[in-house]
Chains A and B, each alone.
Chain A
């Protein structure tokens, strides 16, 4: 799969062996230098045909975020995930005749807050429209949305990616946000293939959505995934959406096309309903590679809607979306324009309950993820990429800060223990931070034992392992029970060192002949002998002293 190894320096190539199962992991983000070298050698060997000319991919996203509110966008029924079917449905949600929409103030504020956080211009006047399509879970036959004049426009979403060999270089990027529109969610259909029928649950019908439309500023799955992750963190920080993909609160559609650099954009396809963070990058990269292969084998790309099949790892044309749909947009006659105010234009004779004040919402914006990261870097002196990892895991910042507050250890050292060791265990066993068997206070206690020289770092790792598997025993107790304290007794240490030297005459001779590196091996032997209970620095001193004292022996 050499060909796909150079995804995202905006150069894509035809995949050598196109394999449906595992194409989708192009290791993006090799350095630009490497990519262009590859390009040159490839074009040299390519010869007459236009093959192996690099491709550039263009990715745009439309993201539906469910607004976190008590009640629905236009009705007073409850918003709740996984409630009994059709229990959260008002007459309006079921579009019974004579019902009318009444706009939820909270949903408007959520959209304005999100718009502000995404650097948008908030439209002081926005309009609602009907978008018609026929589907059993859309009772009215139309969705109320904002087609002509959405609530927020012209924003931007800065995000960062880890690149480089060890994923430790941060690259900053920005994607433009075209608009944010308020709209209704649809109900849910459960397809019963055997019974040849569809079961309809309207609990979700009418829940408020923010559709965030992004400009096609991304070029691969990894970029799109990073942008979506940043948006998710922003929405969660604002509280405007819980943005949990598994519960469908954040749903991503991707528009994808490929072209040769310098030429016009290609025909795009839309990959619908990517509902898993894990498969987002995969689905997009699969589709890019599929289009390239299609074009290079002389085919054409149809402007069609495709779905990503998680099991097969590929995208499939959706038959029911064939052809361009005609939504017959029309103004929603039951809703006058939505007017927002700022400090200057506040009306005097209107109840404050009827006024959404943009300036006030701006003032109330909480710290966004980018600000939180900058604060972490500044306050604790940690690496920027570590601040990303801290923010990416739910609850990890709180964990980190609790540890910091309870330990004398330098935060720069603490972060290593948390990100490498604790997070390593959490990931390995797929455990959430808040369910970690190693509590922040116990970890702090362990780090204090280490910092005060009670135990060595390798003993600390042993204790950590016991803590992970253990029943909440304190590290001090574990150290005592397992006798992991550093050997303080100088005589005992000297004795052990002497024994190790006696057992490793060859190494001792080598050191005496000037190969100082072999000393490390002896230190390691002492560590093994003491099961990590010796301090490498004092062991080194003792060994050096003893080497000087010891007369050179002849080999037997």
Chain B
């Protein structure tokens, strides 16, 4: 029962209100380890890496993610029964309208200073949304993770 509840809460925290993340509908994104702490499943890590093109790199990265989720989960303990959700604390204010005048721009050089890599006046990004290869074909630490006593069994 507890595991079920955790997974549904976690999903609510991590996914949209409207439904599950792709590919995660059948697998809970979190599972509980022996000490009552939630562990992120391999499927979820793979999905996040795929979405964000972020490499969690190592076990430490994964633990940091888990801690962040745990921190955010505190919100779920607040009782909001009968409270109308707010969009923002400013929602009763007027939305200020700007006149259609050009007031900014022409500082490409300054902007590009922030970038790691540039070419002429362009930012350089990794190849966009070319999907990550399947987990098996990828050089990632997730690949090398072996199921151990306190790790999850791989459920592919």
Contact = CB atoms under 8 A, between A and B. Distances in A.
A84 to B, nearest CB: 6
Interface in B117-156: 117, 119-131
Interface residues of B, number: 50
Contacts of B15: 326, 328
B95 A335 contact: yes
Contacts of A134: 51-53, 129
A135 B129 contact: yes
A319 to B, nearest CB: 6
Contacts of B117: 197
Contacts of B93: 336
B129 A199 contact: no
A336 B22 contact: no
Contact of B105 (A69, A77, A104): A77
Contacts of A202: 111, 123
B108 interface: yes
A77 B108 CA distance: 12
A71 B102 contact: yes
Interface in B66-120: 87-88, 90-108, 111-112, 114, 117, 119-120
B21 interface: yes
A334 B95 CA distance: 10
A489 to B, nearest CB: 68
Interface in A88-117: 88-91, 94, 96, 102-108
B23 interface: yes
Interface stretch (A19-27, A250-258, A280-288, A349-357): A349-357
Interface string A322-354: 111111110111111111000000000010011
A103 B121 contact: no
B96 A102 contact: yes
Interface in A63-90: 69-71, 75-78, 84-90
B26 interface: no
A353 B97 contact: yes
B34 interface: no
B129 A196 contact: no
A217 B68 CA distance: 47
Given A85-B121, A103-B95, A103-B96, A196 B103 contact: no
Contact of A87 (B91, B99, B121): B121
B105 A334 contact: no
Main secondary structure of the interface of B (DSSP, over half): loop
Given A84-B108, A86-B112, A198 B126 contact: yes
A69 B100 contact: yes
B21 A77 contact: no
Interface in B24-52: 51-52
A105 B99 contact: yes
A230 interface: no
Contact of A189 (B88, B101, B119, B125): B125
A363 interface: no
Given A77-B105, A336-B92, A199 B98 contact: no
A351 to B, nearest CB: 9
A338 B99 contact: no
Contacts of B90: 333, 336
A33 interface: no
B7 to A, nearest CB: 16
B123 to A, nearest CB: 4
B94 to A, nearest CB: 7
Nearest to B23: A323
Contacts of A478: none
B101 A70 contact: yes
Contacts of A28: none
Contact of B97 (A71, A108, A328): A108
B127 A89 contact: no
Nearest to A96: B114
A260 interface: no
B143 to A, nearest CB: 20
A213 B146 CA distance: 48
Contacts of A199: 119, 122-125
A171 interface: no
A200 interface: yes
B153 to A, nearest CB: 24
Contacts of B127: 191, 196-198
Contacts of B88: 331-336
A183 interface: no
B92 A87 contact: no
A87 B108 contact: yes
A136 interface: yes
A320 interface: yes
Contacts of A190: 122
A333 B117 CA distance: 32
Interface string A186-222: 0001110000111111100000000000000000000
Interface in A277-326: 319-320, 322-326
B92 to A, nearest CB: 7
Given A70-B102, A198-B128, A322-B131, 14 more contacts: A69-B100, A76-B102, A86-B112, A87-B121, A90-B105, A106-B99, A134-B53, A136-B128, A197-B126, A326-B20, A333-B90, A335-B88, A337-B87, A337-B95
Interface of B: 15-23, 51-53, 87-88, 90-108, 111-112, 114, 117, 119-131
Query: What are the nearest 8 A-B pairs in CB distance?
Result: A76-B103, A136-B125, A106-B100, A331-B87, A90-B104, A323-B22, A199-B122, A105-B97
Interface of A: 69-71, 75-78, 84-91, 94, 96, 102-108, 127, 134-137, 189-191, 196-202, 319-320, 322-329, 331-339, 350, 353-354, 356
12 contacts: A76-B103, A85-B122, A103-B95, A105-B98, A107-B100, A127-B87, A136-B126, A197-B117, A198-B125, A199-B123, A326-B20, A328-B15
